[in-house]
């Protein structure tokens, strides 16, 4: 029986672990497949308070983990495969175990969206990527395209200029959604070029990527562009499949919470990108994780006589 069981080890889950551990609740974190969550894949995080020179995403995640562990948080490198939220204690099944939990904090994050175009799946890992930090090195002295127009697309595009000779950003609109500083950096970088009002309709290549087929959304015109790599950053889908039919969700699949991170099931809390489609920042996810742990602590105190 766990007093606090946390699903996910990104900024929200690790922050929740720290606060629950400091409340002497000895929380157990099921890390899933990635310690540090998506943030761990970011080369440099420049906007997390306390690190004026920036910090590598993986390093920040490791510091989060160490801090939580220092106060008694425990970590299992395992993945939840089924949950039963119909009654307390809640049941969580993983690949190797089954857990009972008095409270549950869901911090399972979100996963990158796919283009869902021909050859995308076939060529993933063979020129198609969703993580520049992971795969950028393989494109040294090569040409790549980045699909998207938000912060992630420009952050990863700028990172790719370390390796690639040419980075072409393809965006379906005629203006970017990214923050002003990132836009300025990208526009001033001689390696970065833009193709506007355009989508990728097909990825080309036999065994490895050698090009993309582009379609102008205004004129309908199509053309092929040679490239060695395709990096896709077009948003995320929350990892909430386990909770379908058990928790209230938005039409987009995000878990609905109130201001105290409480879900529609008493004793179940959610934090970070699994319930936040708006901010999607390390600092906001960490704050939400802290709030969820504080509320879980209060919930346990209120129900201590049960």
Catalytic residue numbers, as ranges: 131, 134-135
Residue appearing with tokens 């076939």? 122
DSSP state of 88: S
3-state secondary structure of 262: strand
Residue appearing with tokens 């699903």? 7
3-state secondary structure of 155: helix
Distance CA 124, CA 229 (A): 10
Provide the Cα torsion 232, 45, 6, 261; round to 10°.
-90
**Token pair for residue 274?**
């699994």
State the DSSP string of 109-129: -EEE-----TTTTTTBTTTEE
**Token pair for residue 56?**
């590598």
Contacts of 97 (CB under 8 A, 6+ apart): 76, 78
């Amino acid at each position: 029986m766990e007093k606090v069981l946390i699903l996910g080890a990104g900024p929200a889950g690790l922050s929740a672990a720290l606060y629950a551990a400091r409340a002497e609740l000895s929380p157990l974190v099921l890390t899933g497949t990635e310690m540090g969550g998506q943030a761990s894949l970011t080369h440099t995080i420049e906007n997390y308070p306390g690190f004026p020179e920036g910090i590598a995403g993986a390093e920040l995640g490791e510091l989060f983990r160490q801090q939580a562990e220092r106060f008694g948080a425990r970590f299992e490198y395992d993945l939840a495969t089924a949950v039963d939220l119909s009654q307390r204690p809640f049941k969580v099944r993983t690949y190797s175990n089954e857990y009972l939990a008095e409270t549950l904090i869901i911090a399972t994050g979100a996963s990158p969206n796919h283009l869902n175009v021909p050859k995308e799946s076939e060529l993933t890992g063979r020129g198609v990527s969703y993580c520049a930090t992971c795969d950028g090195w393989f494109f040294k002295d090569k040409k790549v395209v980045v699909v998207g127009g938000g912060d992630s697309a420009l952050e990863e595009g700028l990172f790719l200029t370390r390796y690639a000779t040419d980075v072409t950003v393809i965006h379906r609109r005629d203006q970017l959604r990214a923050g002003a500083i990132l836009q300025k950096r990208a526009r001033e970088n001689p390696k970065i070029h833009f193709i506007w009002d355009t989508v990728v309709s097909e990825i080309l290549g036999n065994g490895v990527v050698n090009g993309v087929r582009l379609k102008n959304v205004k004129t309908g015109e199509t053309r092929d562009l040679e490239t060695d790599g395709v990096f896709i950053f077009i948003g995320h889908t929350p990892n909430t499949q386990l909770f379908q039919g058990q928790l209230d969700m938005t039409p987009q699949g995000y878990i609905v919470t109130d201001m105290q991170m409480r879900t529609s099931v008493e004793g179940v809390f959610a934090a970070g990108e699994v319930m936040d489609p708006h901010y999607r920042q390390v600092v906001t996810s960490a704050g939400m994780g802290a709030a969820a742990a504080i509320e879980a602590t209060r919930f346990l105190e209120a129900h201590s006589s049960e």
